[in-house]
Amino acid sequence: MIDLMKARLEAVARLKAKEVTDDEFCQARHAHLVTYAEYAMQQPILAAHAPAATPDMYMPVTAETALINSCGNLLTILGLTALHPDQTARITAMPAPPIAFATINPAHQGRAQTCEPCGRADRRSDVLVAVTVGVTGRR
């Protein structure tokens, strides 16, 4: 937890000093996509083994939690990339996965939904694709 706070403070200092470049923002986005996808895959296991005193320690991956935590996540990633360039290089060498958030929407049950960004029809009976994040290929 202390390293995360150090990372956020580093990011705030660098942002205030206008030292963060566009390339660093792109690199942070890529690193976030890679690490967030890893967290999304591991979240059910982590949540199942959370300490009894803090059962909600590992929040589920939803569009809402992604939005709520976006500023903190950006600061954390910007700070970590500045403090640990070797780890950042390793992470950014990995391909970024597309991330799709789905929400239950009773009004759309049984109807095919179309994902606006890609035009793909989603035929699951009770799921509306809410957000799709893909890779821009820009670094």
Task: Report domain extents, the chain.
Answer: 2-92, 99-133
Residue 107 has pLDDT above 70, yes or no: no
Q: Given this model, what pLDDT does residue 97 score? A: 79
Helix locations, the chain, DSSP H: 2-16, 22-48, 63-68, 70-83, 85-92
| 42-59: pLDDT as tens digits | 999 999 999 999 988 998
How far is CA 7 from each of CA 55, 73, 132, rounded to the nearest angstrom?
26, 10, 28
Long-range contact set of residues 81-84: C-beta below 8 Å, sequence gap at least 24: 81/24, 81/27, 81/28, 81/31, 82/7, 82/10, 82/11, 82/14, 82/24, 83/6, 83/7, 83/10
Please enumerate, as own/partner, the contacts of 38-44 that have beta carbons within 8 Å and a separation of 24 or more: 40/99
Give the pLDDT confidence score for residue 121 in this predicted structure. 44
CA separation for the pair 84, 124 (Å, rounded) = 41
